[in-house]
Amino acid sequence: MTGHNSPVRAPGWRIPVIGGVPADQRLLGAVPELVETVIAALLERVPTYRRLPREQIAGELAQVTERRIRALAQAVRTGLPAPEAEFAAVREAAARRAEEGLPLDAVLLAHHLGMEVCWELVTRQAGDGDAADLLVLNRLLLHQLRQATAAAGAGYFDERRLPDHDRGPARRALLAALLDGAPAEDAAHRAGGRLPPAYAVLRLAVAAHPDERAPDVDASVAGRRKLRRLRAELDHRTRQSVLTDLSPSGGVALVPLDCRPDAVPAAAWRLLADTVHRAARAAGAAVQAGAAAAAPAAVPGAAVLAREVLEVAEAFGRPPGLHRLDDVLLEYQLSRPSEARSRLASLIEPLEDGGELLVTLRTHLAGGLNRRHTARALHLHPNTVDYRLRRIAVLTGLDPTRPADLLRITAAIAARDAGPAPEPA
């Protein structure tokens, strides 16, 4: 039995010693230098990698590189193949590169470059008597490279084949049938399940990640990376049962519910709101969602309603997150064309010329009618706020300090923000 600190080694294995230093120690002692050198070589010699976001290069790519170097040092120390988990990580990383649109030759060349940099560092101090150890080390590194490139190639092609296996087409067919209002029972069976009592229909608008606007980053790569994170979080939070049709700017998601659409508990909506929040955080971009619940046969109408709720939330400056019709009832109603909407909007027309009065009114309403909060928000003296509120009352006939006038003031602002009603046909 080996001692507690003695690593398990292949029978008869002796660690190669180059320039008087065991090769595994030389690798481990230079991990930060090797990571930096490998990344620099990758960006210089494989231009495709320059398209990746800087955050990804300094984060995920550097972490993967360090892991591979430490795994290589472990193999040099023991003479044993790297554990299966190590090459599973290689497969996963290659699948991510495939999803981001990097070509396979670039992905494989990255592994060759990494091994080349490690070889050059370890052999830099080689002496005349190190030939036998260099030969052993070379053979081991080539074996590791062969395993890594095989795993990377398999992971890359797994991702490329993904749409053609594992019920992917069946799930897309189910989503299409639901959105079209077509009979969906058979499609659900082919997708491996049954139709739920209801779906929460989400219409998502996803903001751009900062990397998508960076001049030296490929926006499509950054967008796909953002989308992968968002999908992964949705799958995780909904146990991979969500049906989605998403692009980097948004799309639609159907989340199965185990209750009738008219009996969705508040806890279920809170969970969905939290899911949207976590998905946005994972994606690194704001996400706004309109939501509605519907039985499978009523999904098309719910999808229209969810889109309209999203449009209203965006038009009225609602914060990112999940919004239902109940959350925007007044704004939704006032966004429907009518003579009443135009007349409501006209109530605050006298404030249009004095822009500061309208800003004060909005701030006062948003701050819960607290004059001191309004004063702090606008960097004014509270007496100035009082003066402006009195001016608003004189000009419009609506007094922001009177509870009876607040509903009409709120409705008038919402009607104004909805824009002019179209002329009757």
Domain boundary among the residues 333, 350, 381 is at 333
Q: Rounded to an integer, what distance in angstroms lies between the CA atom of residue 385 and that of residue 366?
A: 14
Say which DSSP state 194 is in.
-
Residue 71 to residues 11, 26, 317: CA-CA distances in angstroms? 19, 14, 50
Could you tell me if 41 and 117 are in contact, meaning their C-beta atoms sit under 8 angstroms apart? Answer: yes
Between 411 and 148, the more confident residue is: 148
Average pLDDT over residues 189-211: 91
Sequence-ordered strand ranges (E) for 258-357: 287-294, 321-324
Could you tell me if 269 and 178 are in contact, meaning their C-beta atoms sit under 8 angstroms apart? Answer: no
- Tell me if 245 is assigned to some domain: yes
> Largest alpha-carbon pair distance within the chain?
99
Same domain for 29 and 54: yes
Q: What is the CATH number of the domain that holds 401?
A: 1.10.10.2840
Helix (H, G, I), strand (E, B) or coil at 79: coil
Q: Which residues contact 351 (CB under 8 A, 6 or more apart)?
A: 357, 358, 361, 392, 395, 396
**What is the pLDDT, as a whole number, of residue 420?**
59
Same domain for 126 and 33: yes
Q: Which residue's entry shows tokens 């008219």?
A: 262
Same domain for 287 and 364: no
Q: What is the CATH number of the domain that holds 297?
A: 3.30.70.270
Q: How many structural domains comprise the chain?
A: 3
Same domain for 364 and 252: no
- Tell me if 28 is assigned to some domain: yes
Task: Pull the structure tokens for residue 159.
Answer: 């991702």
Across the chain, what does the average pLDDT equal? Answer: 86
Same domain for 325 and 304: yes
Q: Taking 90 as the threshold, does the pLDDT of residue 309 lie above it?
A: yes
- Tell me if 181 is assigned to some domain: no
Question: What dihedral angle (degrees, nearest 10) is formed by the CA atoms of 12, 132, 145, 19?
Answer: 100
Same domain for 224 and 207: yes
Q: Taking 90 as the threshold, does the pLDDT of residue 207 lie above it?
A: yes
- Tell me if 422 is assigned to some domain: no
Same domain for 354 and 320: no
Q: Taking 70 as the threshold, does the pLDDT of residue 130 lie above it?
A: yes
Q: Rounded to an integer, what distance in angstroms lies between the CA atom of residue 353 and that of residue 156?
A: 61
- Tell me if 424 is assigned to some domain: no
Judged by average pLDDT, the poorest of 139-143, 313-317, 337-341, 396-400 is: 337-341
Average pLDDT over residues 305-334: 87
- The domain in which residue 71 lies consists of 17-163
Residue 107 to residues 5, 39, 112, 161, 309: CA-CA distances in angstroms? 36, 13, 9, 17, 43
Please report how the helices 355-366 and 382-396 are oriented relative to each other, as an axis angle in degrees rounded to 10: 110
Tell if the pTM clears 0.85, that is, is over it: no
Domain boundary among the residues 333, 359, 393 is at 333
Of the pLDDT bands very low, low, confident and very high (cuts 50, 70, 90), residue 240 is: low
Q: Rounded to an integer, what distance in angstroms lies between the CA atom of residue 240 and that of residue 192?
A: 12
**Predicted confidence (pLDDT) per residue in 5-63, tens digit:** 455 788 889 999 999 999 999 999 999 999 999 999 999 998 888 878 887 888 888 99
Q: Taking 50 as the threshold, does the pLDDT of residue 259 lie above it?
A: yes
Task: Pull the structure tokens for residue 241.
Answer: 């049962």
Task: Pull the structure tokens for residue 135.
Answer: 């030969």
Say which DSSP state 100 is in.
T
Task: Pull the structure tokens for residue 119.
Answer: 């070889």
Amino acid at 177: A
Could you tell me if 254 and 299 are in contact, meaning their C-beta atoms sit under 8 angstroms apart? Answer: yes
Same domain for 159 and 26: yes
Q: Rounded to an integer, what distance in angstroms lies between the CA atom of residue 80 and that of residue 75?
A: 5
- Helix, strand and coil percent figures for the chain, each rounded to 5: 65, 10, 25
**What is the pLDDT, as a whole number, of residue 70?**
93
For 7, phi then psi, to 5°, come to: -70, 150
Domain boundary among the residues 115, 142, 163 is at 163
Half-sphere exposure of 323 toward its Cβ, with a 13 Å CA cutoff?
A: 30
201 forms beta bridges with: 254, 292
**What is the pLDDT, as a whole number, of residue 2?**
41
**What is the pLDDT, as a whole number, of residue 166?**
47
Q: Rounded to an integer, what distance in angstroms lies between the CA atom of residue 180 and that of residue 299?
A: 8
- Tell me if 157 is assigned to some domain: yes
